[in-house]
């Protein structure tokens, strides 16, 4: 077997075809229709603001590319993470669907915020397992529409993130185990109590709500399209179970011709996508998912995302733990002229991936990065209590 001319932490996707159309299988996962209208409807929520897309010309010059832009989700819905979109939209979709079934008519975001249709919606109790950010999002959605919420947290979730969830009115149950253990306990108690799970990962017989969560994430991609013409040539996106990466890759794949080069970035201890790419099907991470990047601490992918990421991602790469803090510093203490961006350990992973590629000449050249490249990164979370030392 011929050894690839690039590092072992970088792998190409043998299934990726740049001429492959965005077909029905992909549209089932990420439906691009109606997203501009959804963005407009979100304007009814007083907490919603379009998040900034920052240009970093100083960094771009240092790295040898034309542009680096960072979509800053640290300001999303006032609580600092992209997952706000997924949980809030998914809760809204469940409640609006229930109203539609009851009355054979549509309701609106604003009507549900005014607690109309409580005779239909009040019975819903929402729950999820989360390492922090998704739980806050589901809690925020439940609070917005006046519903009870129960969040299951793995043992590694910080006290600050737990406090932020409780501040949004949710009950918290700590699980003595990792994220996957929390998912299992959430499923058990939800079935016993008749609660509605709002999960960002899928399993056998459960994919409708994870697809609804990803639909929420596509709102930030529509914002990017409206904020940046002509848009990116290369997109680095961090992946846990894959919801954000699938939403970003899928929506850009559907909207751009040719589509950008897509790169998945993961912690080396939680490399479930890297290993799935190698196996050609969903596979477990090679490590124990023990990482400071808590939002990416996943041992398994969300299977529903495979038809998008498994075919659209051009490259998969991992980053090391000691690359996280330098990436956060690079965002928080930027080069002259660049804006300062506050990020958390998971939020800066795409930046860490870009820097790792740009400091390895063979990797830089292999990915087609050059002085004409326009790079998109997603700062998926702000600083939520993790010290920048």
Phi, psi dihedral angles at 127 (to 5 degrees): -150, 160
Asked whether 365 and 373 are in contact (CB, 8 A), the reply is: no
Cα–Cα distance for residue pair 28/276, rounded to 1 Å: 21
pLDDT (0 to 100) of residue 250:
98
Rounded average pLDDT over 239-250: 96
- The chain-wide mean pLDDT, for the chain, equals 93
User: What's the N-to-C CA distance of the chain in angstroms?
Assistant: 43
CA dist., res. 198 & res. 357, Å (int): 35
pLDDT tens for 159-193 read 888 998 999 999 999 999 988 899 999 999 999 99
Average pLDDT, integer, range 348-372:
97
**Could you give the CA distance from residue 80 to residue 326 in angstroms, rounded to a whole number?**
20
- The contacts found for 51-58 with CB under 8 angstroms, 24 or more apart, are 51/75, 51/76, 51/220, 51/223, 53/223, 53/224, 53/227, 53/228, 54/338, 54/339, 54/341, 56/334, 56/335, 56/338, 56/339, 57/337, 57/338, 58/334, 58/335, 58/336, 58/337, 58/338
**Rounded to an integer, what is the distance from CA 1 to the centroid of its chain?**
35
Bin 287: left if φ > 0, else alpha if -120 < ψ < 50, else beta: beta
Phi (first) and psi of residue 17, to 5 degrees: -130, 120
Percent of the chain whose pLDDT exceeds 70: 98
Render pLDDT for 297-351 as a digit per residue (tens, 0 to 9). 999 999 999 999 999 999 999 999 999 999 999 999 999 899 999 999 999 999 9
């Amino acid at each position: 077997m011929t050894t690839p001319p690039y590092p072992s932490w970088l792998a190409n996707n043998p299934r990726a075809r740049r001429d492959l159309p965005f077909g029905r299988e992909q549209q089932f996962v990420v439906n691009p229709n109606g997203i501009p209208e959804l963005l407009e409807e979100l304007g009814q929520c007083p907490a919603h603001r379009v998040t900034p897309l920052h240009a970093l010309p100083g960094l771009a010059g240092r790295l040898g590319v034309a542009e680096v832009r960072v979509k800053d989700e640290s300001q999303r819905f006032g609580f600092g993470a992209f997952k706000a979109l997924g949980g809030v939209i998914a809760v809204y979709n469940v409640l609006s669907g229930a109203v539609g079934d009851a009355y054979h008519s549509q309701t609106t975001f604003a009507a549900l915020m005014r607690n109309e249709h409580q005779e239909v919606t009040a019975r819903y109790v929402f729950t999820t397992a989360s390492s922090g950010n998704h739980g806050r999002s589901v809690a925020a959605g439940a609070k917005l529409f006046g519903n009870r919420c129960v969040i299951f947290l793995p043992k590694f979730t910080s006290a600050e993130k737990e406090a932020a969830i409780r501040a949004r009115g949710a009950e918290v149950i700590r699980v003595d185990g990792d994220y996957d253990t929390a998912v299992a306990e959430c499923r058990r108690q939800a079935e016993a109590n008749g609660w509605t799970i709002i999960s960002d990962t899928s399993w056998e017989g459960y994919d409708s709500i994870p697809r609804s969560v990803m639909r929420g994430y596509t709102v930030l991609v529509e914002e990017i399209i409206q904020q940046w013409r002509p848009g990116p040539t290369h997109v680095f996106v961090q992946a846990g179970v894959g919801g954000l990466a699938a939403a970003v890759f899928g929506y850009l794949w559907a909207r751009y011709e040719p589509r950008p080069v897509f790169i998945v970035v993961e912690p080396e201890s939680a490399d479930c996508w890297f290993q799935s790419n190698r196996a050609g099907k969903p596979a477990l991470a090679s490590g124990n998912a023990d990482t400071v990047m808590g939002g990416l601490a996943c041992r398994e992918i969300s299977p529903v995302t495979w038809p998008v990421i498994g075919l659209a991602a051009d490259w998969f790469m991992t980053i090391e733990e000691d690359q996280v803090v330098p990436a956060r510093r690079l965002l928080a203490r930027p080069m002259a002229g660049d804006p300062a961006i506050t990020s958390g350990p998971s939020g800066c992973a795409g930046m860490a991936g870009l820097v790792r590629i740009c400091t390895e000449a063979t990797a830089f050249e292999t990915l087609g990065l050059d002085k004409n490249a326009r790079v998109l990164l997603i700062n998926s979370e702000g600083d939520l209590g993790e010290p920048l030392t």
